Amino acid sequence: MLTLVNGKQTPQTSALDRGLLYGQSVFETVAVENQTLLLWEAHLNRLVAGASAIGVPLSADFLAALSGEAHAAATQCDERTVLRVTVTAGQGGRGYLNPDPMQPTRILSCHPYPQYPVDHRDVGITLGISDIRLATQPLLAGIKHGNRLEQVLARSQWHADWQEALLLDHDLNVVEATQSNVFLARDGVIFTPKLDRCGVAGVMRDYLIAVAQSIGVDTRIVRLSLSDIEAADEVFVSNSIIGLWPVQRCLSRHYKSREISSKLLKLLLENEVIPNH
């Protein structure tokens, strides 16, 4: 399994990296298909914005090196691979104080593409409701940063028959799922939660909003409750690796319609932004 740390092939990094000490990092999980980094520009843009928000400005030289290494890694990995790209605040600084100057660390690692059952995409999944409530932190909301204990706890509590689980905030708004974003469709309109208090704004979420718009389907970014999920015609989840999974069961509902989600999935496949089965 290929791992590059600041461009050097090594499975090791500093034990005193601020990514390890404080979770001061951002990361991307990129689908790689036939040596192509899917949605690479969107991933890179999100990485840069997130890094800046956690006090890690990235120089043009750093980004050029990162991009070069990502493309090089793509040519050396399996035909279908998950590339994790992590950028940390690097070493140094006494305690919480950021080092000045800061020398961020790049970590790129290739991982086997998960082999999810074909049914998840074709038939749909069972979506549970996690007991974990996401904490509200507007300064970190939307960012795919390295402070992910809530997701680790949530994942450890999935029931055996769940393929994903909704995460709510303390006010019981639906925010996202454990490792994906959530959408619902009702009366021909798509709704997805606001991520201004917590949650991760997925690259695939943005892409789906844009692609829905391109076929004349509006997406409204709103506060959603479990009642909205129950009242929906369709529910689906998305991330860069799974693409889109329709939800078959959630709460007491058995969702039958795939009208909008199947159109979107078709477009993801046609546009080659996710691997085919």
176 is catalytic: yes
From the list 81, 88, 144, 234, the catalytic residue is 144
29 is catalytic: yes
Residues at the site binding a second copy, with contacts judged by CB under 8 A = 3, 5, 10-25, 27, 54-55, 84, 86, 88-89, 94-98, 107, 109, 111, 114, 132-133, 135-137, 139-140, 145-156, 170, 178-179, 198
10 is catalytic: no
Q: How far is the CB of 183 from a second copy (least distance, A)?
A: 20
Phi, psi of 164 (to 5 degrees): -160, 170
H/E segment holding residue 127 = strand 125-134
Q: How far is the CB of 151 from a second copy (least distance, A)?
A: 5
Nearer to a second copy, 11 or 117 (CB): 11
From the list 13, 29, 88, 192, the catalytic residue is 29
Nearer to a second copy, 181 or 219 (CB): 181
- For residue 51, what are the CA distances in angstroms to 76, 87, 144? 27, 8, 9
Nearer to a second copy, 52 or 271 (CB): 52
Nearer to a second copy, 95 or 101 (CB): 95
Helix (H, G, I), strand (E, B) or coil at 230: helix
Would you tell me the crossing angle of helices 259-270 and 203-214 to the nearest 10 degrees? Answer: 100
Active-site residue set = 29, 144, 176
